[in-house]
Amino acid sequence: MDDTRRKFLKKAGYASLGISCALPLLDAKLLAMSEETGTHEAAAKKQLAMVIDIKKCQNKQLVDAAANACHTVHNVPTITDAKGNINKEEEVKWIWTEKFANTFPEQVHARLERSILDEDVVVLCNHCSRPPCVRVCPTQATWKRDTDGIVMMDMHRCIGCRYCMAACPYGARSFNWNEPRKFLEKGRGIVGEYPTRTKGVVEKCTFCADRLSDGLEPACVEAANKVPGGKDALVFGDLSDPNSKVNLILNKKHTICRKVGLGTGPNIYYII
């Protein structure tokens, strides 16, 4: 190799090294600029949230009422197998229950009271302040509204890549492996005007954005409050309002959130 070519390659190597070293600084600078201009997942002006009382939600009647109200209003299908049993591998759900140990694995230790480990915990989309699902969606079928912080889902824009499902650390999204309308038609039927979905798309809880626009509370909250002993089992409100009911509860009660160490900023709080 002649000296001229050797010198050229040596300079090119230094240049590429300089660029690679500068990239982290450039990324940090662009990130700071985007945060100032509000282009990088700017914090919502208003953040809607929910507080769930774990003890009160041990009432199966209450939990069933909340889930049925949510799934009925939003035409969520009940996926069954040939024998009429719930198909756990393909079921679609917006709100459901998980055992405490599965919901809060970081809270479990050898001396934890056994009854707590066996408790069922109501779970749903956490409407995170920094939702990883939004970052990975290639079509912007899921996005975070800056007006109220709700992580929305446009089922018509969804291409079924399921990146959002892989990114969500809470398992809060369901994929339609089957045509959901056929299960609705042979089950409780199609209710109201909320649009049904199609095979091959993802769906999840939207904090009842459709009901909020009509001045109503989320269906699960409304249903739970109607069950005897269910008052304030689920409480919904705005974290940006210091006088909202959710803030009044959070200021008085000891609460925990799911997987806070991941930095997603979940907005579902649990009274323990």
Q: What is the CATH number of the domain that holds 207?
A: 3.30.70.20
Long-range contacts, stretch 79-88, CB < 8 angstroms, 24+ apart? 79/177, 79/178, 79/180, 79/183, 80/183
pLDDT of residue 122: 98
Same domain, residue pair 12 and 49: no
Assess whether 23 and 103 both reside in one domain.
no
pLDDT digits (tens, 9 = 90+) for 162-208: 999 999 999 999 999 999 999 999 888 999 999 999 999 999 999 99
Task: Find the domain containing 170 and state its range.
Answer: 45-271
Question: Quick one: 189 and 257 in the same domain?
Answer: yes
| Total number of domains constituting the chain | 2
**What is the 8-class DSSP label of residue 143?**
E
Do residues 244 and 250 touch, judged by C-beta distance below 8 A?
Answer: no
pLDDT beneath 70, residues of the chain:
1-44
Task: Please indicate, yes or no, whether the overall pTM of this predicted structure exceeds 0.85.
Answer: no
Sign of CA dihedral 56, 61, 67, 69: negative
The pLDDT value given to residue 116: 85
Check whether residue 83 and residue 180 sit in a common domain: yes
Residue 8 pLDDT:
44
Are residue 135 and residue 206 in the same domain, yes or no? yes
25 and 84 fall within a common domain? no
Q: Do 71 and 117 have their domain in common?
A: yes
Residue 26 and residue 71 in one domain:
no
272 within 8 A of 254, measured Cβ to Cβ: yes
Do 22 and 66 fall into the same domain? no
On whether both 31 and 51 belong to a single domain, the answer is no
56 and 2 both lie in a single domain: no
> In this structure, are 78 and 171 located in the same domain?
yes
What pLDDT is recorded for position 3?
A: 52
Let me know: does 268 contact 257? Beta carbons within 8 Å. yes
